Amino acid sequence: MLEELKTFIQVVKDRNFTKAAKKVNLSQPTVSLHIKRLENYFDTTLIKRSSKSKEVLITKEGQLLYERGQDLIAGIDCLKEDIFKLSHHAKKKIVVGASKTIGDYYLPPLIGAFSEAYPHVQLEILIENTAHICDMMNEGEIQIGLIEGIDPYYDFIRDYFYEDKMVIAVSNQSKLVESPVNLSDLNDQVWISREEGSGTQEYLNLFLKMHHITPRNVIVFNSNYAVKEAVKNDLGITIISECVVSHAAFDKELTILPLEIEPKRNYSYILPKDKVLDEDVEAFIRILKEYKR
């Protein structure tokens, strides 16, 4: 009935079926049919043709429909625009879950590169530890997850996007800075660790096991900043992403120990299985893989 109403309004404006038909891009018989449908719907006569001319005469009922109809069409157009904006906005938002090291140190410049290439896409970044990011992915709370560790409880699509260098950080007061260090020298030390469920703690446990290192004690913190500050204040030593402590080492607030090995781990992105990817998420993954620190 909306198209019939638009045709009727044009006929009233032009007072002529032929002119109105050209403007609405319809044949004159179709215009007449639209008017007839409206008259049947409202059970009244809306337009009378003059017997002496081609001009049409608008009844009182037709005049009322013309006035109210214009408001109705305008309201529907506004509604259509609002729905489009809402729908368009919803399609152009990506919710990204990132583990703490990635979210705090790796992601910010990458977000800048993505936003420059895709300014129409809104990003929402949720930063938690690796285990929590996997839980959020499983619950459908995020569209893509960026993690450091491996969570064995879920079956996601997974791919690597960056190789992260890990370093041993100690305080400037530590005896370990006084002479060259072997892996065996890392035995019987107090180790500073991230919390359970973090990729950094997972790597620490793997590193200690692989190199048969037994800690004297382990102190746990739930943030990279707290780990860095604990090491700086000589509470213990840690293995952590180089990006977390590189500035502190440059400013001589702590020391990065040279080792005969170069510990590394991979950053991964995870996606839900059996789900078609939004084109904006695919674009984010392309930037993720192409981006160079």
Report the CATH number that the domain containing residue 156 is assigned in CATH: 3.40.190.10
Tell whether the model's pLDDT for residue 225 goes beyond 90.
Answer: yes
Tokens 């979210």 correspond to: 103
E strand intervals along 138-222: 144-147, 157-170, 190-194, 217-221
pTM of the model: 0.67
Same domain, yes or no, for 128 and 61? no
Distance of CA 26 to the CA centre of its chain: 45
Asked if residue 249 and residue 227 are part of one domain, the reply reads yes
What is the band of 53 on the pLDDT scale with cuts at 50, 70, 90? low
**Triad 68, 71, 74: Cα angle to 5°:** 150
Average pLDDT value for the chain: 89
Residue 14 sits in which domain range? 2-89
Cβ partners under 8 Å of residue 10, min gap 6: 20, 23, 24
176 shares a domain with 240: yes
pLDDT above 90 coverage of the chain, percent:
56
Instruction: With cut-offs at 50, 70 and 90, classify the pLDDT of residue 152.
Output: low
On whether both 47 and 171 belong to a single domain, the answer is no
Crossing angle for the helix pair 60-91 and 2-14, to the nearest 10 degrees? 130
Of the candidate ranges 67-71, 152-156, 204-208, 209-213, the one whose mean pLDDT is the lowest: 152-156
Same domain, 192 and 242: yes
Number of domains in the chain: 3
Same domain, 48 and 98: no
Residue 159 pLDDT level (bands cut at 50, 70, 90): very high
Q: How confident is the model at residue 52 (pLDDT cuts 50, 70, 90)?
A: low
- Domain match, 170 and 260 both: yes
**How are the residues of the chain apportioned to helix, strand and coil, as percentages rounded to the nearest 5?**
50, 20, 30
